[in-house]
């Protein structure tokens, strides 16, 4: 989902609230996998065709936000523009024990909130694709005294996988245009 795409508001019926609760539980389990460093379990929640993207954010003049605030997916630079293979390689690199920015391993806490189901096709009760929006706050403590806070929004597209979901698309909007952390090793 392009973060700037406006979807029509979904009907808030029982099916919507059941689906939203399932999505919330999925996101909470995903956050637990990351916080407990169960990276292989986390990777299993990512679809084989995952597109994992975090654009650079820019300060722009009023009225130009929708066009210029985020770097475009197909050109320019981004914090992340990854697929399943690159996510797996990042996990493997962290788990070598010789990763400069992750030795010792950071302590992380992922807080996920304001979960919304923004679209479900073909419908809420039998969705084969679910578009979501949530907010996140990730706390990272690194080495002895380095603390970082990453706050922003996530636009995810989920597809059913057994009795759960997999993320097939994730767009992460970090609410800062200058990265205040010394390194960016956290998964969002």
pLDDT digits (tens, 9 = 90+) for 161-182: 999 999 999 999 999 888 888 8
Residue 54 within any structural domain of the chain: yes
Q: What are 129's two structure tokens?
A: 């694709």
- 110 confidence band (pLDDT: 50, 70, 90): very high
Residue 95 within any structural domain of the chain: yes
Q: What is the CATH number of the domain that holds 124?
A: 3.10.450.50
Res. 42: pLDDT tops 90: yes
Instruction: Let me know: does 157 contact 144? Beta carbons within 8 Å.
Output: no
The number of folded domains in the chain is: 1
Per-residue pLDDT at 78: 85
**Domain containing residue 58:** 34-174
Q: Above pLDDT 70, what percent of the chain?
A: 92
- Between 142 and 33, name the one with better pLDDT: 33
């Amino acid at each position: 989902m392009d973060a700037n795409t406006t979807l029509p508001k979904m009907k808030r019926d029982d099916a919507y609230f059941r689906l939203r609760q399932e999505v919330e539980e999925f996101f909470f389990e995903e956050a637990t996998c990351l916080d407990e460093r169960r990276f292989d379990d986390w990777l299993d929640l990512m679809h084989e065709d995952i597109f994992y993207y975090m654009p650079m954010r820019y300060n722009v003049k009023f009225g130009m936000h929708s066009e210029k605030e985020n770097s475009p997916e197909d050109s320019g630079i981004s914090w992340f523009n990854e697929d399943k293979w690159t996510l797996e390689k990042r996990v493997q690199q962290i788990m070598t024990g010789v990763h400069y920015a992750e030795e010792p391993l950071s302590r992380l806490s992922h807080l996920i909130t304001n979960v919304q189901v923004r679209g479900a096709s073909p419908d809420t009760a039998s969705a084969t694709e679910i578009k979501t929006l949530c907010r996140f706050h990730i706390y990272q403590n690194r080495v002895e005294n380095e603390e970082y806070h990453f706050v922003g929004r996530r636009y995810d597209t989920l597809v059913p996988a057994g009795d759960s979901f997999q993320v097939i698309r994730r767009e992460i909007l970090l609410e800062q245009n200058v990265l205040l952390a010394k390194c960016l090793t956290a998964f969002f």
